[in-house]
Amino acid sequence: MQAPRKINKILIANRGEIAVRVIRGCRDMGIRSVAVFSEADRRSPHVRLADEAYPIGPAAAAESYLVIDNIIEAARVSGADAVHPGYGFLAENAGFASACAEAGLIFIGPAPETITLLGDKLQARALAMRSGLPVVPAIESALDDVTAMQKEAEKIGYPVLVKAAAGGGGKGMRIAHSGADLSEALAAAKREAEAAFGDPRVFIEKYIERPRHIEIQIFGDAHGHVVHLFERECSIQRRHQKVIEEAPSPFVTPRLREEMGAAAVAIGKQANYLGAGTVEFLVNSEGSFYFLEVNTRLQVEHPVTEMITGIDLVREQIRVAEGSRLSFAQEDLKINGWAILLVPIFSEKTFEDPSIIEPLERLKAYGQEDHVRRYGPDYVDRLREAGFTVKITKVSDLANSEEAVEMGLTPASGEIYYCTKQLGS
């Protein structure tokens, strides 16, 4: 355990709402805040609100917010003694946590080893089983032979869910309802996992139809204490993306809450968890729950938990990062009221949209080649269903080619992909 250290200045390695949230927490605690910004965010609210602000690169996140050396240098120049990663970007990057430690900075989050352990779904699943948590039946071995994988999938029963071993956020996931679907589901999940996380590994688990998605907020300190701050219900989703978060869950009974909370604390203790984290579960209609994954960071929806418990999670993150004990015990926590958060407005093109249908019909009529940006996870599958051969290429692979220029894509386009569509044979 590290010796306690007083934090006097925190660099927030993020932007937007979470950066503003952490800056507000710093102000309440009398801690100076340091913002970082890309060229595009120079006039953003978090830059204006922080005590100091430093540029870290061009507009593209890959050249600014994701460049560890730039952020460490900003911390050095500013004299910050701690870094808060927020959520997204480098928040669950073990290499970033290690770089902070090597630079003598306090990383406000779990240890690098914990991030590595829990960030890999297969390792986290194994830890959950050692902790006595129920898990969804799965095929964990990496089988490249599709036929062998189909045989294994039949043992656990269809439908099955192909999932990326790394990352999260609903990326790298495909449902297969039969052996005939599995080959394409595996290929699509691997492509998306490689693109999103740089890791094509996937595994297969039994798909639970119409489950409840319940997550438990946990918190740990460096003195071996881990507690839970009850649940958040996030069952209403769009393409595996959470739409509504509420707490407490209208489905969870006091007994189920106690059982799930104890399970979340158990895996937290096994992982020597420090700071704020979220253990996610799937719950069937009978109330049986199964471990899903652990998010080793503060969640976007953390204010829901703050509202019903009265606990300032950012303040507590900073306290335990300094080496202090949790300011509350499990028996001190009570649910007070009900809160709801995270109701985004979705703006997307559907497959029925004329702007998509017309190019498809034109291609069918003339057999021409066309280029379009990808509008959603289902788009490539829909194109194939329409009779087209689809090739997906990373924008970064195009560099500054004439093809990229013609399509209006630049390196700043980040994770955007394009499809080369031609008439199927």
Domain ranges of the chain: 9-108, 115-120+209-341, 137-206, 354-423
Report the pLDDT averaged over residues 115-123: 92
Task: For residue 342, give both structure tokens.
Answer: 């995270």
Report the pLDDT averaged over residues 402-415: 41
Q: Which residue in 16, 284, 280 sits closest to 168, CA to CA? A: 280
Measured CA to CA, the distance from residue 174 to residue 167 in angstroms comes to 15
CB 97 within 8 A of CB 107: yes
Asked if pLDDT for residue 425 goes beyond 90, the answer is no
Asked if pLDDT for residue 360 goes beyond 50, the answer is no
Burial class (CB in 10 A: 0-12, 13-18, 19+), 62: middle
Q: Which residue in 198, 202, 217 sits closest to 153, CA to CA? A: 202
Measured CA to CA, the distance from residue 341 to residue 334 in angstroms comes to 19
Q: What is the pLDDT of residue 153?
A: 87
Asked if pLDDT for residue 99 goes beyond 70, the answer is yes
How many other C-beta atoms can be found within 10 angstroms of the C-beta atom of residue 408?
9
Q: What is the pLDDT of residue 322?
A: 98
Identify the architecture of domain 9-108 in CATH. 3-Layer(aba) Sandwich (3.40)
Give whichever of 2-11, 108-117, 165-174 has the largest mean pLDDT.
108-117
Q: How far is CA 338 from CA 219, 256, 279, 316, in A?
A: 20, 18, 20, 21
The answer to whether residue 297 is catalytic is yes
Confidence of residue 138 (pLDDT cuts 50, 70, 90): confident
Residues 6+ positions from 355 with CB-CB distance below 8 Å:
349
Q: Among 12-16, 106-110, 188-192, 381-385, which stretch is predicted with the lowest mean pLDDT?
A: 381-385
Q: What is the pLDDT of residue 222?
A: 97
Q: What is the pLDDT of residue 212?
A: 93
In the block, residue with structure tokens 């034109």: 362
Catalytic residue among 15, 297, 319, 384: 297
Asked if pLDDT for residue 149 goes beyond 90, the answer is no
CB 249 within 8 A of CB 282: no
Residues 6+ positions from 344 with CB-CB distance below 8 Å:
243
Measured CA to CA, the distance from residue 324 to residue 12 in angstroms comes to 21
CB 117 within 8 A of CB 126: no
Task: For residue 220, give both structure tokens.
Answer: 């740990």
Give pLDDT tens digits for 18-61: 999 999 999 999 999 999 999 999 999 999 999 999 999 999 99
Confidence of residue 329 (pLDDT cuts 50, 70, 90): very high
Identify the architecture of domain 137-206 in CATH. 2-Layer Sandwich (3.30)
How many other C-beta atoms can be found within 10 angstroms of the C-beta atom of residue 284?
13
In the block, residue with structure tokens 């990373």: 394
* Superfamily, domain 115-120+209-341: ATP-grasp fold, B domain (3.30.470.20)
Q: What is the pLDDT of residue 192?
A: 84
Confidence of residue 400 (pLDDT cuts 50, 70, 90): very low
Report the pLDDT averaged over residues 114-124: 93
Mean pLDDT of the chain: 83
